[in-house]
Amino acid sequence: MSVVLSANSFLLQVVVQPAECVGRVSIVFLTNVASVTPWSAPIIWEGTFDPILIDSIYKQQNLTIATTVFALGKYTRFVKDFLESAEQHYFMGENRSLTVRKVQSFKRWQDISMSRMEQLEKLIENELASEADYIFCLDIDTKFYGPWGVETLGRLVGVIHPWLFDAPRNRFTYERRPESQAYIPADEGDYYYAGAAFGGSLEDVHHLTKTCREKLHIDAANSIEAVWQEESHLNKYFLLNKPSKLLSPEYMWRDINESAAQIKVIRFSNVAKNYAEVRPNP
């Protein structure tokens, strides 16, 4: 597992050799949630996979999973809980390593957010391309509450946003201005994806970050900032380049969310915080 933090940026690297899994061995047929997309990609929910079986398959492959997180300014306060909870729940295996990288910070949180795609693109090119098989890019102001394992691996992986997973498409907060490279018309869109978690193979995530970085630069040259910065561009990318696997909101919940009948297990969640206090600007 690899983590890259900022100003304190760090890279955690893990060779995935899943420990013997305890728990359910049967797959439950779910009737209250969609478990496959219109383009036949699986949507991972509790009960849609056999953890023991899938661990046994991947354990033989001796994979390395890179994971990146950025912690700038006051966001360094979230590092401890992230790492300690990851040790308990995230890709349980051997040979973990952690690397810290310093990266440029910015005065606006929006610029911090938008710079992430370029930094990830360069990191994959310069360091990770020959060192890892898969990569996940996660937000640091988060905590693991349940198992996140090899069931999440795929060529290109998106996570359904916890606020909009059961909302109609007309409520998705896509970028609606045609002038932006992130523009999605009102009658288009599949799911609304969280910018706080995405991943896949090194090649596919590199293409994602490179494309989003290019689109962000075009918008900047035209004095346009997408409504949700890099998350808006991520959603446009996933509209045009369908993910091969989707993770349910179990893999990106929010501590402030009310419980939902569809969510049987909370595996990973955005922690409650005062944004006005931790962000450098409104």
One-letter amino acid at 36 equals V
Residue tagged active-site, from 121, 231, 250, 277: 231
Active-site residue flag, 231: yes
Q: Concatenate the DSSP letters of all residues of 2-30 into one string.
A: ----TTTEEEEEEEE-PPPP-S--SPP--
Our CA angle for 68, 73, 74, nearest 5°, is 100
Binding residues for Mn(2+): 139, 141
Q: What are the structure tokens assigned to 137, written together?
A: 């890019």
Q: Summarize the annotated binding site as residue ranges.
A: 75, 139-141, 161, 173, 231
Cβ contacts of residue 203 below 8 Å, gap of 6+?
A: none
CA distance to 102, 120, 203, 209, 265, per residue, from 125 (Å): 17, 9, 10, 11, 35
One-letter amino acid for residue 197 of the chain: A
Residues 6+ apart with CB under 8 A from 194: 159, 160, 161, 162, 231, 252
Cβ-based burial of 168 (10 A; exposed 0-12, middle 13-18, buried ≥19): exposed
CA 82 to each of CA 7, 79, 102, 142, 217: distance values in angstroms, whole numbers, following the listed order: 17, 5, 18, 6, 31
* Pick from 88, 119, 176, 123: nearest CA to 2: 123
Q: 17 with 62: CB under 8 angstroms?
A: yes
Q: What is the dihedral of CA 50, 134, 198, 47, to 10 degrees?
A: 0
Binding residues for UDP-N-acetyl-alpha-D-galactosamine: 75, 139-141
Catalytic residues: 231
